Every structure is written in C-alpha cells, then in structure tokens.
Structure 1
C-alpha cells in the first residue's frame, strides 16, 4: 500500500515537472533591448506588420470603391426624381423601382457596409497572432533604461537626444517623436528623476501639433508638478484641456487639492438673507427646550447649532477614547487625511439630541466617530455619501446627512470649507454643523464637497455622526420639486 502511494506521488510530481518545463519554455526569455540580434528580428516583425496592414488597407479600398460607384448610380437616379416628383412618380414603373430600391438595395448595402470581407478577416487574424512577437511593457522599460544610462555615462541632454545627436554623432532622421519623448518622461517619473521628466515632457509638448495629443503632455506635466506641490503651475497646464476630453481622476484630484488650498487661506462665507433662530419644531422636546440654530445654506440645506454639547460630556469622551492613526482601506496611512480616529460607545443621550436637532432617526446610522487633528491635521476635499450602486444602496442605504460636533476651540486654521458654495465653518466649542448629502429625490448632492483645512495652531477635536437614509422614510418624504434633481452618475 505504501509503495503504491509512493509510485502515485512520483507520477504526479513528474507530471508537474513536465508541465512546469513546458510553461517555462512558453515564456519568452529574450529582451529586445539587450541585443542587436533580437532587434534585427524585431525589424522583420515590423516589415510583416506593415505588409499585413497594407493588405488590409487594399481590401478596404476595393470595398470603398465599389460602394462609391454604386452610390454614384443611385444618386443620378435620385437627382432625376428630384427635378419633378410628380412626373417621376406618375410612372408606375418608377414607383415600383423606388419601393424595391428602398426595400431591397439599401438593406443589402447596409449589411455589406458592416460585413467584414474574408480577406480582411485573414489580415486581422494575422495581426492578432503577430501580437505575441511584439515588445512588452518590460521591453519598453529596458529600452528607456538604456537611453537613461547613455545620458548618465556621456552627459547627454534630452534636447540633444531628441534632435538625434548622440555624443557628436548626429543624424537628423533619427530624432525622437513626441510620443518617444513622452514615454521617456514617464519612465523618468517612475525613476524619480523629476527634472529629467519635466524636460522630456516639455520636449514632447513642443513636438505635438494636435491639441488632443498636446493635452496628454500638459496632463503629464500637471501630474508631475502637483506631485511636487506646485499646484498653481499644474493648474495652468490643465487650462489647455479640449472640451471634448473628460477630466481624469488625477486631474480632478489636482483641481480639488488646489481648491482646498485656496479656500483654506481665506475665510469666506456666501452672503445671504438667511437667519439665526430658535428651532422648536423638529421634535416635541424642542418645543420646551428650543435649540439655537444659524442657517448657512438652503441648497444644500446646512445649519449650525450652537451650545448643543456640554463640557462635561466632552471631557468624558476625550478621557475615555483610544485614538488610532487614520488609515485607508488597504491599511496604509492615508494621503488625503492627517488625523486620528476613535469610535466611542453609543450614547442614547447624544443620539436623542441629534434626533432633536435634525428630526431624523438614528436607526442604522454609523456610530459616532471621534476625530483629532493635530498641527497640520487636515482632510482633503471629499463627499460623505458612499455612491452605492442601486442594488447595494437598497440594502444598506446611503448617508443622507452629516452632523459634525466641534469639541474644542482651535487657535488658528482647522475650518471646515465647502468651496462650491463658498461657505467656511470655523470650529467653535459646543457647536455643530449639519447638512444634507442627498437631494430630496435621493440624488447625490455634488455641492456638498467639503474639506477640513489644516490646523495651524492648536488641536482640533470633532465628533461625527453619519445618518443613514433608510429609516427616514416617514421623516423626510420626497418634496414636490424632487424631479428637479434626478439621480446622477458621478
């Protein structure tokens, strides 16, 4: 029995070794950039690709010429008909031919236009098989590193290489294209050679003659400058964006980061005719103990409550909390947030008070989150809603509103800003700012974009409550103008 098991084990092990050897042989071990012999093979590949593409173009030309000839004949008859409709259609044969032409001929041409010719299919299949012979991203990286090494050894400048000048050996027909310069710039960014990357990107920009291609270089330069905290210069390059091009995630992040910096340097508040008043209508309790409320905005609805959390409560929370450094989902330190968080034990008293302030149910809502921002502590521009898909949102519900308690005074900085509506809320101990993250229709409210500015001096403590939309079915019914704000895809 033991011998049988041993033989089976040897057999399985042998099969694994054979499979692994076959897999190893299937992996290309050559590097095009490492050998001129391999590069010669690559020239042959390019020759075959050019021939294949030329054949494909000729097939398309034949199809195009046939369609043009037929279109000319049909246009001639159509022009005759246009000269006198009544006379043309008075002849029953013409009427028959018109109906037949539109029913049969045009349908055939439609299918022919979208049909791929057999010869073209062969060309496409050839191109698909030849993809296996093309250089990989690793080959391109090796080639970029080779150029970078040449520059280091012989003290060559990007301008010289781009012009085809190799240490005194100059050949104008070998000058680099705009795309070549762009690729070398991207490699320099990865190699953390920012000055070199900027030079390559500028060369690329000067060589592109198409505005869409130029914007690729502008965007690359903007990302590089933003990485080095040159936000104003980065935004200058983004001003060149064609209207047809949608902003990338990186571009949006730069714009939001710059907006944070600009709005944190000045305290602005949108002038309005809003009021300070006592809120005595949200719950029966507020009728006998109204809350001091200051209106900041009606769209999105935003108010500040004053003197709604007491020193005794604040002291108890701060003394019993264990703070941890803010982390992202991957467990790494966050690049957009500099703070420490702590979840506190749920307090029925505080939950009831939030209900009195907002009129909303605390059922299914997130637990209170206690956040501490030290010197330089901040949170970049963000939204509080989750942007769940329809399926997920129906199950979990999104954050309909946010309530933010301020648990202490900050000597300087630390304001909460809403740049899209020009509102700045300065931390004041005992106060709380409340706003809706969703429209009445349930659509995401894009104007709620906000940021916590860096703390210049002092230590900022805030207590956050994110309120779930699902239990609010009868508290916040859809208003009459809900159709003004349809759901949005962001």
Structure 2
C-alpha cells in the first residue's frame, strides 16, 4: 500500500518540500485556463534555455581545466620509477603545491550565478495548480472525445494530423497517473504501455532514469494498474517481463509467485466508471440534421431596412438563431485588447449564493466585464443585439468576455436562475442569452444543447441568441448547454444577458433588491 502511494505521489509531483515551495503550490497564474495568458511561458522558456546554456558553458570550461589535472597525473603514472632527483622534486611539488590548488578549485561553486538566475524565475513558473489544470485539460480531451492514446501522442486528433511535439514517455506517464487516481485502471494501463514503448524507442531514454522513471518503474505501474482492474494474468506478464530485465531484484522475485496464485482464480475485470458529467457523451455525439429550418434576411427595424442581418434558424422550439457577420475583425481586435489585461479566473455560483473562483474544473476559462462606457464599440454591440432580438438592453448585464485554455470547457449549465422562495431579482431573470463568437475554433469548442440535439460550432463574427425562460417566467430546462472542450484553437466569446422586467410594459415590484450573480448555472 505504501509503495503504491509513493508511486502515485512521484507521478503527480508530490514530494517533501520546503515551506517556500509549499507557499508557491497554493498560488496559480492561470496559465492553463487561458490561451491569451500563456505568453509569459514563451519568454520563460527562452530565458531558462539561455541560462542553462550559460551554465553548461561554465561547466564545460571547468571540465576542460579538470582534464588538465588528469593529464598531468597520467604523465606521472606513465613515467618509470627511478632515483632521478629532478623527477622526485617534480612529484613532490605537484602533490604539495598543485594538488592543493586543484582541491581549492574543485571546492569552488562554479555556475552559482546561473543557478541564482534560474531560481529568480521561480515566481513566474507554473505552480502545482497550473500543472494540475494543464494535466487535467489533456485528460479531459482524451476522455471526452475518446481519443486513441497512441494517435494523440503524435498529434493525430479525430482524424486530423497536427504539427506538434510528440509526447515523451514522461508525458504518457503523467496522463496515465490521472486515470489511475480516478480508478480508471484500464485506460491508465494503456497510457503506461505507451510510456514503456516510448521509453524503449527513445534514444535519450536514459535521461528519464535521472528522475527515477526507468523501465522498471513503468513496469511496476503497469502491474499495479492491471492488478487493480482485476487482470491478474496481465499483471503477471508485466512482473515476469521485469524479472527478465533484472533477475536479482527481490521485489519482482516476490511478486511473480504471488501473481501466479492470483492468476489461477477467475478474473472479473472491473467495468469502466460512467462519467457523472453530461458534457462528455454530449460533446462526442453526432446529432442528425434538423428539418424545416430556413435562412432569411432580417428587416425588422428602420436601420435594418438599409442593412439587413443574415439569420439562420438553428431550432424552432425553443427558438435559437444565429446572426452572421455581426461583428468585424477590427472590432474583435479592440475587444481583445481592452479585455486581455483584466481577464481573471472565471467564477461559479456557490451553495452560499456567492460567486467564487472556480478551481473545480467545472468552468476552465478566464473572464472580465466591459461596461457600456468602456468603449463606444460596446454600445454598437448592444444596439445590434437589440436589432436582432427586438428587445431592450436596459438594465442588462455588462458584456462578459471569456477566453479558454487547454481543453477549455464549461460543463452543463443554465444561464437563468430559478427564483428562491418566490423572490425575483431587481431586473428579473435572464430572459435572453446573446453570445458573440470572437474567434473560430479549429477543432472542438462547440456550444452543445444536449436536450435539443443541437451543436453550434464557433463561427467568428456571429451572434447566437436563445431564450432561457418559458412564457410563465420559469427556467427552460431544454436550453441547458455546454461549451465543449477545445481540441485545437483559441476560443474567445462575448456574452450579453438581457433581463426580464425591462421587456414588460408593467414592471412587477421586486420583493428583494438583489443583483444576479455572474454565473448562476445548475450543474447536473
């Protein structure tokens, strides 16, 4: 049991740390949850590479000097013993004068300046939270879209080949460790098998031995994964394979007879765990094409008589429409420029009715809000929403800008909030969601409505609009939606929520003056 805990702790980077390291581990830069904020990692990579090169140069120079000492001593070794007075003097001088100097030289701290510079970069390096979010982002992609580990490791995603660095054995080990911790032992075994294959095929595999990740270590993980899933014969094969590599290893000598006894019993492999989240099956599902939908031009206002909007119906009941070419590249550039410095980790609505930062992987993105006075462009975008919907943006929420990161997604949720004890908010519920797409997404990142069999791909410049409420004002469960994990690309969106009461001629008197929180979704 202790051995298993040690293996898993090693895989997840958990080790005895200093107080300073513990302090760093509770901080997050949010690198993995926003593509826009990954740029510091590029400069960090360049700086770290430059410092390591300088460190290597110092050590190379030092090695050259040490080789001089070796050469000097080798010359003495090769000389024949004799009573030559001059040679005796030379030997005495070397071991009294030179050797003391060499000893002082060896004790000197060479490369200390370069090491200090590398340590100074620690404050911008990814923390444990950043690493975990990146790792679980890759896990989310593989488990959601059921990607083949071997294909994924070389950049082949859903039949498309992308140019990227291939996974090393350590990458496969890390992903497999997530499956192991989630008790999905069969998938963990697949990743560990891939790690072993890459270890043996990598000409530089010995570098992994420095961290203790040798083929012996990988075989231990394979044995544990197979045994935990109830596949004792497979576990025995891994143990026997390890024993061939090192017959003197006492650990494997103990495991082989134990697993032989277990393999005699009938095997009952454990079933794969069913995901509690709706987004995983919904995002990989193919929905049939809808009939009786049409595209048309919208002329509903005096301005639209001159410049009509292209409308495409996506669903009739409840109505969901997409309005094409409603925001242009220059406007998108300005929105990103205005929002980028202020993006912060997205929030979710907690059980205490307060928005909190999301470290739960329900919503992996960064957001911020642009009010109407931030730029004249915002008022123009509001006007287009009014032209498209025919509704008022009075008392609506500020435009929310969102950017997603590695495997960025938003689990199933509703934008409306069921009233608690009949107490409505001051401006009513969210009657309309108007979502601008500020970028195309190469692969993944669709908005999926699982109860409507509808998938909406991100289309740069378009506006998607749907109603969140039934006619009686209650939340419409049919518009539960999902932002699917992003396989490839950079997803930006801008969301505007219109409130209920400003659309009415007679405004109800609210029982409680309470603003709607940023996120009010229900997670299933």
Q: How would you bin the TM-score normalised by the shorter chain?
A: 0.3 to 0.5
Structure ranking higher in helix proportion: 1
Question: TM-score under structure 1 normalisation?
Answer: 0.44
Higher relative contact order (CA 8 A, sep 6+): 2
Question: TM-score under structure 2 normalisation?
Answer: 0.42
